[in-house]
Copies of this chain bind each other. A is one copy, B any other.
Amino acid sequence: MSKIADPKLRHEGERNFLWAKAHMGALTTLAAKHSKGKPLAGVRVGVCLHVTKETSVLVDVLVGAGAEVKLAGANPLSTQDDIAAFLATKAEVWAWRGQSPEEYAWAIDQVLRVKPGQLIDDGADLHVAAHLSRTKGIAGGSEETTTGVMRLKALESEGKLAYPVVAVNNAQTKFLFDNKFGTGQSTFDGILRATALLIAGMKVVVVGYGWAGKGVSMRARGMGARVTVVEVDPVKAVEAHLDGFEVTNIHEAARDGQLFITATGQKGVVPYDAITRMKEGAILANAGHFDVEIDVKTLLSRAKSVREVRPHVDEVVVPGGKKVYLVGKGRIANLVAAEGHPPEVMQMSFANQFMAALRIRKEHGKMEKKVYGVSAAEEQEVARAALESMGVSIGEQTAEQKAYAKSWEV
């Protein structure tokens, strides 16, 4: 039986579902095409995703293809309660905003207890929980995030991966768009809802120049910020430098940054000693999956005081009396303080998720216990559906050009 915050929110949830659905044509078109004959009939899909309006469209599509869906949220603070209420009319749901860590683990456990045959995950908490409890009966799964794929690869390299996983995150039609454009826009959406400050002229430090960091940096600049990038990978550092950003290390950047945004998938990339160097009023926000990128634990344990000054903004007074401000308790800001990625981006990510579920259903017998990528053909199909939804019409290579691409003589 579902456990959600308030079933009465289901009507508001349905309105948001419909709004998202209207802007996710790539997913609904692909689903319509592939759902004839209910290809997922009889499949119980365990899902651990942020419970947002976009996720409700994926769940609807999975159910439409015949699947039975069991849903937990992917973060204690990211669930939209209206969506959870709406989804509880279509699936079993254990998700509400403001779960304790124990409640969060309990919800994931509920998903595993009902013995899902496939898993769809965001961050790999569900996959990891399965590997720590039971993986029997699981034909395969997929994973949405950089962080999650990193963990699954670690499992794979230790020889412990128990079923095939499709790394949806590694699809170009996912990371080029979701990680970059989704995170770029929605992180600032969250930060503005939380702080309502002017980005123009602000010194913004972006930690990490992967796809998410690129997106955040690009949007920071697009809003008029002066942007400094912190990177430890030299190739990415050169890239950030030639993209016109200041590039340095976190300790140097800490000295004059006003807003720090982490996007690395790593822990401690804003360490406590960097925070102590910051200017009065510095703001800390995280765009990465887990709340470990800023060293919140040390910050809070040493704080002289902590109090909420706006919804999703805590003022932390550090020893010595300086004040810094923490957005969303260091959890992923776009989901905590806003609504996560916009539907136009999620239509591609979730089209890949849907295709991955179909593939595991059909091919899991032939698949190894490995982390798989999305095929080029699937990518093309998703991209073509996205173009159609965006009203973009492109041409094609001629036969002569195809031949030219394979020739080597003049």
Contact = CB atoms under 8 A, between A and B. Distances in A.
Interface of A: 15-16, 18-19, 22-23, 53, 124-125, 128, 131-132, 150-152, 154-155, 157-158, 172-173, 176-177, 181-182, 184-185, 189, 192-193, 196-201, 219, 221-226, 230-232, 234-235, 237-239, 241-252, 265-269, 281, 309-310, 313, 338-339, 342-345, 348, 379-380, 383-384, 386-387, 390, 392-398, 400-401, 404-410
Q: Which of A184, A243, A394 has the most CB of B within 10 A?
A: A394
Number of copies: 4
A238 B401 contact: no
Contact of A246 (B158, B226, B242): B226
A18 B128 contact: no
A198 B185 contact: yes
Contact of A387 (B238, B267, B339): B238
Given A128-B410, A224-B243, A238 B395 contact: no
A383 B386 CA distance: 35
A178 B266 CA distance: 30
A10 to B, nearest CB: 15
A267 B310 contact: no
Contacts of A172: 235
A267 B393 contact: no
A198 B386 contact: no
Contacts of A199: 185
A266 B224 contact: no
A254 to B, nearest CB: 11
Contacts of A406: 154, 157
B201 A244 contact: yes
B154 A181 contact: no
A150 B409 CA distance: 11
Contact of A176 (B201, B235, B245): B235
A268 B395 contact: no
Given A224-B222, A400-B268, A310 B154 contact: no
Contacts of A23: 197-198
A308 to B, nearest CB: 8
Given A201-B344, A397-B266, A245 B232 contact: no
A242 B397 contact: no
Given A154-B407, A201-B344, A239 B387 contact: no
Given A15-B309, A200-B244, A383 B152 contact: no
A379 B155 contact: no
Contact of A409 (B128, B181, B252, B342): B128
In the A-B complex, the 7 residue pairs with the closest CB atoms: A222-B222, A249-B395, A234-B383, A198-B342, A151-B408, A198-B344, A154-B408
A224 B242 contact: yes
Contacts of A251: 395
Contact of A200 (B185, B230, B281): B185
A155 B238 CA distance: 33
A342 B230 contact: no
Given A226-B245, A249-B394, A238 B177 contact: yes
Contact of A237 (B222, B339, B392): B392
Nearest to A384: B234
A405 B224 contact: no
21 contacts: A18-B309, A19-B309, A23-B197, A23-B198, A125-B410, A185-B223, A193-B193, A198-B342, A198-B343, A198-B344, A201-B344, A222-B222, A230-B395, A232-B395, A234-B383, A234-B386, A238-B390, A241-B390, A248-B394, A249-B395, A268-B400
